[in-house]
């Protein structure tokens, strides 16, 4: 199985990323995955590990943001009995547990500065020191790290060691934000709708053209995770139906209402929507010499909807 195929998308940005990831997968080089939240850092780390020569060895993840500073050193490097209150026996760390395999250090930007020096030492020499020990031990572990913060800013703020950053950054792989690869949105939707239809044994819903347009214009702050969650919710609530813009969560509609998306701003004084609609229909019909299909296209409506609204407003055919 080619694990890189689990990463859906065909945009040039993703394509070149996957090409680089394939090259590094077959080596032991340290990789730093960069990208906003939900862009797929973990799925990419997993694919790299699964395509590497260490695929059948240990694959251990440590989320550096999830543990307090006091615990993280012992978690990584292990500790000797009596090293601190509660250290009742010699305990091995994750680096030892991952010996021969791969360690995924997620949210590495949250690693406390005090521990960064020890990690750098391991990356440079393979040497580790358990908490409370005097002699070091060696392990053979490939490290994949991920960050969703800009480490350069943290270096400037004195929160991240520059030398460790350079050591981690040998091969940086940057995951593009979803808003930078809107051409992947349809592929991802298709993938997720099929996935949830299968998971929940339901008929997948479909997105209408106008709903899709809104999704493509949206900024996706939560990136692919946000798209996945939306597909899951709509799969359950609207199984087998067509999803229209009004079925989308409010934040999508609001975002598509910005002047940038519609070229139109609601006047401070408000307006008469009905009169405006009738007026715009008139204008469209005038501009197209009464051609209803062309008018409908100008207004983003189907021909039938236009005719319905012409009747509603009493707009005569030209």
Q: Which residues form the interface with ligand ATP (CB under 6 A)?
A: 7-9, 35, 37-43, 148, 191, 224-225, 228
Task: Based on the shown chain and the rule CB under 5 A, indicate whether residue 226 belongs to the binding site for Mg ion.
Answer: no
Nearer to Mg ion, 42 or 159 (CB): 42
Which stretch in 41-49, 183-191, 204-212, 244-252 sits in contact with Mg ion by CB under 5 A? 41-49
| Token pair in block for residue 149 | 């913060």
> Which is nearer to ligand ATP, 240 or 249 (by Cβ)?
249
163 contacts which partner out of ligand ATP, Mg ion, none, CB within 5 to 8 A by kind?
Answer: none
Nearest CA-CA partner of 253 in 261, 245, 242: 245
Q: How far is the CB of 47 from Mg ion (least distance, A)?
A: 13
The entry of ligand ATP, Mg ion, none that residue 118 binds, CB within 5 to 8 Å by partner kind? none
Residue 163 in contact with Mg ion, rule: CB under 5 A: no
Q: In the bound complex, what is the minimum distance in angstroms from residue 285's beta carbon to Mg ion?
A: 53
Q: Residue 85 CB, nearest distance to ligand ATP (Å)? A: 33
Q: Is 38 left (phi over 0), alpha (psi -120 to 50) or beta?
A: left
The length of the chain in residues reads 318
Distance CA 188, CA 144 (A): 25
- Binding Mg ion (rule: CB under 5 A), the pick from 28, 42, 174, 257 is 42
By C-beta, is 66 or 266 nearer to Mg ion? Answer: 66
Binding partner selected for residue 9 from Mg ion, ligand ATP, none, CB under the kind-specific 5 to 8 Å limit? ligand ATP
What is the per-residue DSSP string for 184-203?
Answer: GHHHHHHHHHHHHHHHHT-P
Using Cβ positions, the residue closest to ligand ATP within the complex turns out to be 40
Q: How far is the CB of 107 from ligand ATP (least distance, A)?
A: 7
Token pair, residue 112, equals: 């406390």
Q: 159, 112 in Cβ contact below 8 A?
A: no
CA 233 to chain centre: 17
User: Where does this chain touch Mg ion (CB under 5 A) — which range of 7-15, 40-48, 74-82, 257-265?
Assistant: 40-48
* Residue 257 contact among ligand ATP, Mg ion, none, beta carbon within 5 to 8 Å by kind: none
Q: Pull the structure tokens for residue 28.
A: 């032991």
Encoding tokens for residue 289?
Answer: 């010499």
Q: Is 107 left (phi over 0), alpha (psi -120 to 50) or beta?
A: left
**110 vs 295, beta carbon nearer ligand ATP:** 110
Contact status: 257 vs Mg ion (CB under 5 A) = no
Pairing of strands 137-138, 127-128: antiparallel
- Closest distance between Mg ion and the C-beta of residue 37, in Å? 8
CA 242 vs CA 17, 28, 208, 252: distances in Å: 34, 47, 6, 17
Q: How far is the CB of 12 from ligand ATP (least distance, A)?
A: 14
Least separation, in Å, of the C-beta of 17 and ligand ATP? 10
Helices 185-200 and 223-237 cross at an angle (nearest 10°) of 50
* H or E, element range at 137: strand 137-138
Residues lying near Mg ion in the complex (CB under 5 A) are found at: 41-42
């Amino acid at each position: 199985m080619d694990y890189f195929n689990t990463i859906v998308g065909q945009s040039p940005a993703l394509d070149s990323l996957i090409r680089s990831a394939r090259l590094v997968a077959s080596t032991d080089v340290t990789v730093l995955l960069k990208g906003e939240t939900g862009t797929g850092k973990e799925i990419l780390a997993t694919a790299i590990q699964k395509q590497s020569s260490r695929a059948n060895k240990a694959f251990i993840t440590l989320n550096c943001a999830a543990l307090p500073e006091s615990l993280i050193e012992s978690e990584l490097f292990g500790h000797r009995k009596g090293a601190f209150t509660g250290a009742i026996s010699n305990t091995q760390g994750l680096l030892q547990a991952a010996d021969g395999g791969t360690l995924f250090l997620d949210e590495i930007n949250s690693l406390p500065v005090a521990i960064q020096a020890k990690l750098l030492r391991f990356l440079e020499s393979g040497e580790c020191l358990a908490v409370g020990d005097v002699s070091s031990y060696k392990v053979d572990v490939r490290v994949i790290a991920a960050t969703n913060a800009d480490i350069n800013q943290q270096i400037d703020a004195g929160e991240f060691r520059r030398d460790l950053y350079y050591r981690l950054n040998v091969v940086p792989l940057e995951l593009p934000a979803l808003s930078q690869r809107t051409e992947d949105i349809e592929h991802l939707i298709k993938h997720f709708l099929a996935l949830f239809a299968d998971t929940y044994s339901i008929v997948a819903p479909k997105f209408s053209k106008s709903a899709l347009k809104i999704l493509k214009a949206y900024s996706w702050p939560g990136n692919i995770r946000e798209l996945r969650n939306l597909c899951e919710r709509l799969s359950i609530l609207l199984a087998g139906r067509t999803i229209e813009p009004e079925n989308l969560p409010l934040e999508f509609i609001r975002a598509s209402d910005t002047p940038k998306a519609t070229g139109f701003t609601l006047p401070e004084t408000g307006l008469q929507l009905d009169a405006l609609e009738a007026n715009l229909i008139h204008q469209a019909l005038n501009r197209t010499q009464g051609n209803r299909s062309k008018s409908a296209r100008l207004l983003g409506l189907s021909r039938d909807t236009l005719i319905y609204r012409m009747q509603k407003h009493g707009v005569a055919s030209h």
